[in-house]
Chains A and B, each alone.
Chain A
């Protein structure tokens, strides 16, 4: 599938004819978006795409070419080559998954392209593998879990049961939690990636003497676990990073998710300038509530617009400096880039509640203020 979003083409043509061509794009920025639009994880990619398009809607400087990576690293690499070589894009964005980002980002930035990550922040790209042209607009992978560890410690939780799939992001997430959690970890269970039945793990939770469960099970895994946990009669409180409780998933879990605490850098009821307008505009445009992925896509679009207003993309140094300043009104509130081009942002604790007939998230407090990752120390650029 491929959609060209040529905003106000006629205006651009007229502008190009009169203003003259500075860099072959007539001052325009060509964006290549590689994201997941089919297969199991398509909901995330669609939200990022829609958020980004909403932010850049009506802009006459940004032209976006959208491609579907099908969640496959080899396809993403092929698309990146195509976008760079034949579409001649200036900026790449859109990738959802860490393993795809690792396959695409280093080569794209080495070719002098900018990459703005609207999701996924593998530790390698935050530390030793950081690049001047790589800007992470979402989070470093460990961030939500680190904040959750800090929050639960402050709440006085003593013993915790940890669970995650047995793959790098799962292990990172648990390591991040343990980095900030001061209590005792009674059990640490690693499940199979893509596991659908959690009866055995729920029995272990029941038998464990932990008084809190913290888990990271993104997508369908989280849906299965929460539904089965609700039916099991185990009543230990549950928390996790927001990836298992975003708006796209909550509808499928339903009331089984009520009361779950989850950490995120954004919530639809976050009281910062512009957020309410974003939520209303997104609902009006697409007829559904935005998820945090949509918020990240939206912020990515705003960041790009803010840089485009200050510098020509053809002047890479000036454009990079403009991106680094991050002078845009993020729907997350205060937002700045650390020296490794990863966010410094506040992470909140949300709780799943029912508003009318809709199961959704509500803010209940701050988990970590101006949080940034620990890998920046290894970043030399």
Chain B
């Protein structure tokens, strides 16, 4: 394998990590602040992608499509929080899992009812359609660079929001002692709705960005949801920084594992066996990573022991 190919694969790993971060950030915020396991986070991702595909189809504008995805996912998140999720904060995790699993089914069949069973069309904007040549002669799709840029901007924005703003202070306070900030006069239920809508909007944005290079179809959110849970377990539940580091680790492990493991086995096995064993082991790589992290840091890389 040449150095150029390796660099390209590292970029691919970073980009896949950034996409995961957009999903995991919302999930970890919701889990950290409200203590809620939200299985329906993947459905919000799907709503973002479908809203973007519908708006892009009607107007032809990708920028409007992105805004629509943010708005639709945030609105869906806020509605779900007020009608369903709010009743679950005091229940145990099993009840939350059951209720949010039901939400997945409702959202999936509802989306099918609205948009039909066939995948929708959503393409990358023309300005980012082709590859660009990076220093060193690497050809890399412009749209993937855009995803990296948007993801990093969101990460910086979230850090500033949590660290520097009043609502960020309330969120951090809510994480550590929800009774106390209620007693101090912060409207806790409004705060929860805002946090949930924020997490939902991030998932919707991820869905729209990713939908343009993947398939916009019912059930698209669930595979990403599993990876996002792996990310927040590795990064430490409730930590945005952990979500970023965890997402990058998972993205890199997944991408490089898939490329390097078959090659590594190829050194001492025949090609067919090496490919088959390497591919199988590569699909396990991120779970092995998670297990190793949990052995040494049971609360995740940046998790706080409770």
In Å, the complex CA distance between A46 and B112 comes to 13
Given contacts A188-B272, A200-B255, A200-B259, are A46 and B213 in contact (CB under 8 A)?
Answer: no
Q: Which residues of B contact A46 (CB under 8 A)?
A: 117
| Min CB–CB distance B66 → chain A (angstroms) | 17
| B124 within 8 A of partner (CB) | yes
Are B139 and A206 closer than 8 Å at their CB atoms?
A: yes
Q: Which of B7-54 contact A (CB under 8 A)?
A: 8-9, 12-13, 15-16, 19
Given contacts A39-B219, A200-B9, A200-B258, 17 further A-B contacts (CB under 8 A): A40-B217, A40-B219, A42-B117, A188-B271, A189-B275, A192-B258, A196-B223, A199-B255, A201-B258, A203-B259, A207-B2, A220-B119, A223-B214, A227-B214, A228-B213, A233-B139, A253-B121
**Considering the chains assembled together, what is the distance between the CA atoms of A196 and B221 in angstroms?**
11
Q: Is A200 within 8 A of B12, CB to CB? A: yes
Query: For chain B, what secondary structure do more than half of its interface residues adopt (helix, strand, loop), or is it mixed?
Result: helix
Neighbouring B residues of A227 by C-beta, 8 Å:
123-124, 212-215
* Complex interface: chain B residues within 8 A of A180 (CB): none
A223 to B259, CA, bound (A): 22
Query: B130 contacts A40, CB within 8 Å?
Result: no
Check if A254 is an interface residue, CB within 8 A of chain B.
yes
**In the complex, are the beta carbons of A190 and B214 less than 8 A apart?**
no
Query: Contacts A43-B118, A231-B129 given: A197-B283 contact, CB under 8 Å?
Result: no
Interface check B165, CB cutoff 8 A: no
Q: Across the A-B interface, how many residue pairs have beta carbons closer than 8 Å?
A: 130
- B220 contacts the other chain (Cβ, under 8 Å)? yes
Would A166 and B283 be within 8 Å (CB), given that A40-B218, A188-B271, A233-B141 are in contact?
yes
A233 to B280, CA, bound (A): 29
Rounded to whole Å, the gap between the CB of B217 and the closest CB of chain A is 5
Per the bound structure, the CA–CA distance linking A83 and B119 in Å amounts to 31
* Chain A residue at minimal CB-CB distance from B131: A233
Q: Would you call B5 an interface residue if the criterion is a C-beta within 8 Å of the partner chain's C-beta atoms?
A: yes
Q: Does B229 lie at the interface of the complex (its beta carbon under 8 Å from any beta carbon of A)?
A: no
A329-345 interface bits toward B, Cβ cutoff 8 Å, 1 = contact, 0 = none? 00000000000000000
Question: A248: which B residues are within 8 A, CB to CB?
Answer: 118-119
Cβ distance B130 to chain A, nearest Cβ, rounded Å: 6
Interface presence of B276 (CB below 8 A)? yes
Complex interface residues of chain A between 163 and 208 (CB less than 8 A to chain B)? 166, 188-192, 194, 196-197, 199-201, 203-204, 206-207
Distance to closest chain A CB from B58 (angstroms): 15
Beyond A189-B275, A228-B141, is A42–B112 a contact (Cβ under 8 Å)? yes
Instruction: Give the CA-CA distance A39 to B218 in the complex, in Å.
Output: 7
Q: Give 26 A-B contacts (CB < 8 Å), ordered by A residue.
A: A39-B108, A39-B219, A40-B217, A42-B112, A166-B283, A189-B279, A190-B275, A196-B210, A199-B144, A200-B258, A203-B12, A206-B5, A220-B119, A220-B214, A223-B119, A224-B213, A227-B212, A227-B213, A231-B130, A231-B131, A233-B131, A233-B139, A248-B119, A252-B216, A253-B121, A254-B121
Number of interface residues of A (CB under 8 A): 41
Consensus secondary structure, chain A interface: helix
B214 touching A197 by the CB < 8 A rule? yes
Name B118's contact: one of A194, A197, A252 (CB within 8 Å). Answer: A252
Cα(A277)–Cα(B130), bound, Å: 41
In the assembly, what is the distance between CA of A381 and CA of B280, in Å? 38
- Shortest distance between the CB of B25 and any CB in chain A (Å): 19
Q: Which residue of A lies closest to B210 (CB)?
A: A196
Asked whether any CB of chain A lies closer than 8 Å to the CB of B175, the reply is no
The answer to whether A231 touches B141 (Cβ under 8 A) is: yes
